[in-house]
Amino acid sequence: MVSPRPTARRRTAAVASLSLAVAGLTAAGASSAAADDDVSAQDVVDVQILATNDFHGRIQANGSEAGAAVLSGAVNQLRAQNPNTVFAAAGDLIGASTFESFIQQDKPTIDALNAAGLDVSAVGNHELDQGHDDLMDRVLAPYDAETNPYGGAQWQYLAANLKVRATGEDAVPASWIKDFGEVQVGFVGAVTEELETLVSPSGIADLEVRSVVETTNEEADALKAAGADVVVLLVHEGAASTECAAMPTAGDAFAGIVGGVGPEVDAIVSGHTHLAYDCAFPVEEWAGEAVTERPVVSAGQYGYNLNRLVYSVDAATGEVAGVETAVLPLAGNYPADAEVEKLVADAVAEADVLGAEPLGQIAGELDRAQRWTVDSETGQDVLAENRGGESTLGNLVAEVQRWATEAPESGGAQIAFMNPGGLRADLVGSGDDAFPRTVTYKQAATVQPFANTLVNMQLTGAQIKAVLEQQWQRDADGNVLSRPFLRLGVSAGFEHTYDPARPEGDRITGMWLDGEPIEEATSYSVTVNSFLATGGDNFRAFAEGTGARDTGKSDLTAFVDYMAAFAASEPLPVDAAQHAVGVSFPAGAPEAYEPGGTVAFDVSSWAMTGSDDVTDPELTVSLGDRTLGSAAVDSTIGRAADDEAGTASVQVTLPPDTPAGTATLTLAGAATGTEVAVPVEVSEPAKAEPTITVDAPETVVAWFQRARLDVTVASPAGTPAGTVTATVNGKAADTDRLNAKGDGRLRVGPFKPGTVEVEVRYSGDDATEPATTTTTVRVKSLWEIIFGSRG
């Protein structure tokens, strides 16, 4: 927090309204406000704020990526036009960088931004990839060729909402003032409240992430009390789209910031979501003042643009008379800074030497998942990375990490998982010739730039299921995140099914390792990177593993070794098989199916979505060695950040002789090699209802004779087997086994004269239910026999 000055000028005007500007400046009625207040031109000081965000070490020019030299050149040119300039940023300047910067621990980016005169930046989540100590003791510590060759950032990092847990003190400074003599500009920094899910929790274990809004308002009040005429929030959090009207009502974290930050904040410079926008929103407390709207801006990503905000401030009173804003595209519009150009060239040359080593060949592209989205620069539909989708690259990296730790001394790993955010590029090999192509060290490092180590642990089957359930993302407080679903890459041999229609927390329906079901009470050896091991990306169940130990092997080294083992002499094949498949039974589906019955369900997540991924036109359904049918697969890529691409509707008939119990249907795709089990329960076959016929409805005999009953049993299931029994007054009188025609013969009696009711019982068999019928036997008396009447 800044020290307050004895006397602070009262702020009587806020920020002028503005509209979206892609290039050039947009004024917002400041001149009329100044005229109304009778402020003369010579009393007004124009303060210029230039802002970037999410640079991620993009030091080389690459199309829309202007590169560090042009970024520095643009700042120099604009600063020459107005010396009252602050060059600021909203975080993620380093980390997840391109190879040229990554391989030298982002030292080239640090040097380039120093040369560009960066003054101040919010802390982003990627500034903390290697932990808080790395930020403070390397990045921000003075450069020293012996003790700190990769540090030396000369700008001020800020994060008002990042506190030391034990003391509540600032983990980095919360705010900072730039003094232009007659005008002071204050800056408050803040980092996304989702920080603990975006970096390794162990690296910030001693820190507490507090409310952006509350800490910003506290610091803004203090800055104004200390004499700041303009206060700017630099926040590493951003909008989900470039549509200005949707931002305040989006119901996300950024909407809360836009609506919750108080009127002492004159502008919000944001980042994190990599979108470019230039918006303005009313602040109720400003009603009746000279200007009534606050700018909310972001420069996009990778040095595409600079945000420019020019505040006109009355030097005598500190009143803000107006503001002009713009988004300035850099590539092709500004000269390159010669000093930074040489710095970049030297970094590229060094990286070329370090990265040129060939590791082996790949037989095809290994891609990340994709989905359709709208490009914020062009407004056109484009295919972009989808961290919610399964990918050939994610599964390969998981398998590499399992292989690297399968030895007993490394934990004897059986399964490995990989987070999609740890993969920063597709692995396509060198050049554009037909495959196979060579993979270099640089390409491998570009895919995995975080230098995580591999951690092995024991997880029960129940804990593995909990991990998979956490792919549907919620933070520790139960809030749904901006990325609501993250699909983990999994190693070879591990498969699972899920039902997207089931309640959250109960969606995983089956897990198998090498074809054997995962048992919930059994422990398995699991390897993940050090980011996931401590619960990163909200996979908190990993942190509950037992016997966790850091193997000391880095993810990149494991990949290099894997290529040497499997791709040195033959190209590494692409495994196109899905490891996670959605299977959803319709509402009202029976708990068990009868033999000969119809089984129907929907399938999803059958298709990878990378640009070169193989897909199946259909899948087949089999039971044992019998093929029951097939279903067409729709592999259309969608817009949702999930893993539902590759859908099919299955309907098959079980063979009539399917035995009762669990029958495992196998779904298979010929092109991809995807194969997954769908167990269904089969009931005992329903037995047919028989018909029992006695040769006559009434049998007449003499009182001294036995009655013969000829019985026929018929069944829809075929000729019945079993026995028939005659029962009189509850006592069995005779039993006979049915012959090959279903006929039997029973004898009963003799009886006293009169009428006797006889129950005929059929015992039933494997296909036919038991049944009973009744018949009567009339017994003649001696009188009736002699005289022919009953007398």
List phi, psi (to 5°) of 141: -75, 150
Residue owning tokens 């991809």? 672
CATH assignment at residue 586: 2.60.40
Each residue's pLDDT tens digit, 485-495: 999 999 999 99
CATH assignment at residue 497: 3.90.780.10
Asked if pLDDT for residue 197 goes beyond 90, the answer is no
Write down the pLDDT at residue 790: 54
Contact, 302 vs 56, CB < 8 A? Answer: yes
Same domain for 428 and 546, yes or no, is: yes
Same domain for 385 and 404, yes or no, is: yes
Judge whether 425 lies within some domain: yes
With a CB cutoff of 8 Å and minimum separation 6, the contacts of 287 are none
**Rounded Cα distance, 735 and 723, in Å:** 7
Each residue's pLDDT tens digit, 597-641: 999 999 999 999 999 999 999 999 999 999 999 999 999 999 999
Q: Which of 15-24, 76-85, 191-200, 639-648 has the lowest mean pLDDT?
A: 15-24
**Rounded Cα distance, 680 and 247, in Å:** 47
Q: What confidence category does residue 375 fall into, taking pLDDT thresholds of 50, 70 and 90?
A: confident
Q: State which of 348, 377, 400 marks the end of a domain.
A: 348
List phi, psi (to 5°) of 619: -120, 150
Each residue's pLDDT tens digit, 690-729: 999 998 778 888 888 999 999 999 999 899 999 999 999 9
Same domain for 659 and 519, yes or no, is: no
Amino acid at 538: N
Asked if pLDDT for residue 37 goes beyond 90, the answer is no
Question: Mean per-residue pLDDT for 659-678?
Answer: 97
Asked if pLDDT for residue 31 goes beyond 90, the answer is no
Judge whether 484 lies within some domain: yes
Number of domain units in the chain: 4
- Give the 3-state secondary structure of 21-81: CCCCCEECCHHHHHHHCCCCHHHEEEEEEEEECCCCCCCCCECCECCHHHHHHHHHHHHHH
**Rounded Cα distance, 278 and 253, in Å:** 18
- Global pTM reads 0.63
Write down the pLDDT at residue 36: 40
Judge whether 377 lies within some domain: yes
Asked if pLDDT for residue 40 goes beyond 60, the answer is no
Q: Which of 29-33, 260-264, 449-453, 773-777 has the lowest mean pLDDT?
A: 29-33
Mean model confidence pLDDT for the chain: 91
Q: Which of 272-276, 322-326, 517-521 has the lowest mean pLDDT?
A: 272-276
Same domain for 418 and 506, yes or no, is: yes
Domain that holds residue 699: 691-787
**Rounded Cα distance, 226 and 229, in Å:** 9
Asked if pLDDT for residue 9 goes beyond 70, the answer is no
Q: What confidence category does residue 198 fall into, taking pLDDT thresholds of 50, 70 and 90?
A: confident
Judge whether 203 lies within some domain: yes
Q: What confidence category does residue 63 fall into, taking pLDDT thresholds of 50, 70 and 90?
A: confident
**Rounded Cα distance, 336 and 61, in Å:** 10
Same domain for 470 and 593, yes or no, is: no
CATH assignment at residue 726: 2.60.40.10
Write down the pLDDT at residue 286: 59
CA atoms within 13 A on the CB side of 336: 18
Q: Which of 385-399, 532-546, 616-630 has the lowest mean pLDDT?
A: 532-546
For CA atoms 13, 15, 19, 22, the dihedral sign is: positive
Residue owning tokens 């998982």? 417
**Rounded Cα distance, 95 and 93, in Å:** 7
Residue owning tokens 């025609």? 741
Write down the pLDDT at residue 691: 95
Same domain for 554 and 623, yes or no, is: no
Q: State which of 627, 656, 682 marks the end of a domain.
A: 682
Write down the pLDDT at residue 338: 98
List b or e across 763-778, with b for residues whose CB sees 16 or more CB atoms inside 10 angstroms: bbbebbeebebebebe
Same domain for 218 and 303, yes or no, is: yes
Write down the pLDDT at residue 482: 80
Same domain for 390 and 332, yes or no, is: no
Question: Mean per-residue pLDDT for 32-45?
Answer: 53
Judge whether 472 lies within some domain: yes
CATH assignment at residue 114: 3.60.21.10
Is 602 strand, coil or helix?
A: strand
Asked if pLDDT for residue 129 goes beyond 50, the answer is yes
Q: Taking the mean position of all CA atoms in its chain, how far away is CA 171?
A: 30
Q: What confidence category does residue 42 fall into, taking pLDDT thresholds of 50, 70 and 90?
A: low
For a pLDDT cut of 70, what percent of the chain falls above it? 93
**Rounded Cα distance, 257 and 73, in Å:** 32
Same domain for 184 and 155, yes or no, is: yes
Contact, 583 vs 509, CB < 8 A? Answer: yes
Same domain for 289 and 395, yes or no, is: no
Q: What is the DSSP string of 479-524?
A: PEEEEEE-PPEE-TTEEEEE-TTSPTT--EEEEEETTEEPPTTSEE
Each residue's pLDDT tens digit, 720-766: 999 999 999 999 999 999 999 999 999 999 999 999 999 999 999 98
Same domain for 640 and 523, yes or no, is: no
Asked if pLDDT for residue 153 goes beyond 70, the answer is yes
Q: State which of 540, 566, 592 marks the end of a domain.
A: 566
Judge whether 3 lies within some domain: no
Q: What is the DSSP string of 717-754?
A: TSS--SEEEEEETTEEEEEEE--TTSEEEEEE----SE
Asked if pLDDT for residue 451 goes beyond 60, the answer is yes
**Rounded Cα distance, 685 and 614, in Å:** 41
Judge whether 6 lies within some domain: no
Asked if pLDDT for residue 240 goes beyond 90, the answer is no
Residue owning tokens 């709207």? 293
- Report CA dihedral (656, 657, 660, 661) to the nearest 10 degrees: -100
Judge whether 554 lies within some domain: yes
Same domain for 197 and 323, yes or no, is: yes
Write down the pLDDT at residue 12: 32
